[in-house]
């Protein structure tokens, strides 16, 4: 050993993780070398583009054991969720919780028509009136529509949604018919 040089530490290579583990006394450090997965390309076949590699992931043709196990176990593919609106959704749900009570639809049954009306009000404000932000909450109208849909879906799950679709129009038609007869 030359002056100023540290002794070479023993290391072992792990082919599964493609890493070298360096042992230094009581502690050890793992150095991981990240490499692109190798793909065999036949004669005349073009190298895959990023989009093709992405499709390999989406169509399940990659053979990662954790991914395969998750599919076999029937786990939901949460990686497909659109996460960009989560914070906005949380603020809209917080606004609703302050106004009506947290998870109120799980405690008391709700009418689908109540949420249909709310969805239509936000829809009209956004699509027909050109208004992006709800003046009461300060949040986007589309986030309110998502929140209404989430509440209805959760209420279905907890069996607290009263499905009155079509009933309101039916009752209005009946009421209008009775008025005309009098």
Q: Which of 82, 38, 77, 18 is nearest to 68 (CA)?
A: 77
99 within a domain of the structure (yes/no):
yes
149 within a domain of the structure (yes/no):
yes
138 within a domain of the structure (yes/no):
yes
Expressed in percent and rounded to 5, the helix, strand and coil fractions of the chain are 50, 10, 40
21 within a domain of the structure (yes/no):
no
Q: What is the pLDDT of residues 108-166, one digit of tens each?
A: 999 999 999 999 999 999 999 999 999 999 999 999 999 999 999 999 999 999 999 98
- Terminal C-alpha separation, the chain: 111
- Tell me how many domains the chain contains: 1
Predicted model pTM: 0.60
Domain hosting residue 131, numbered range: 86-176
């Amino acid at each position: 050993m030359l002056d100023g040089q540290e002794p070479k530490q023993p290391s072992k290579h792990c082919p599964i993780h493609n890493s070298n583990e360096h042992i230094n006394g009581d502690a050890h450090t793992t150095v991981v070398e990240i490499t692109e997965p190798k793909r065999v390309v036949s004669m005349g076949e073009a190298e895959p583009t990023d989009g093709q590699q992405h499709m390999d992931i989406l169509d399940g043709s990659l053979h990662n054991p954790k991914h395969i196990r998750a599919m076999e176990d029937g786990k939901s593919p949460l990686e497909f969720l659109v996460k960009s609106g989560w914070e906005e959704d949380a603020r809209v749900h917080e606004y609703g919780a302050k106004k009506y009570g947290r998870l109120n639809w799980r405690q008391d049954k709700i009418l689908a028509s109540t949420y249909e009306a709310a969805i239509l009000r936000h829809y009209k404000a956004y699509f027909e009136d050109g208004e992006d932000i709800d003046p009461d909450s300060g949040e986007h109208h589309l986030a309110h529509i998502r929140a209404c849909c989430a509440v209805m879906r959760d209420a279905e799950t907890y069996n607290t949604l009263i499905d009155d679709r079509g009933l309101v129009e039916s009752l209005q038609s009946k009421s209008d018919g009775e008025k005309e007869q009098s």
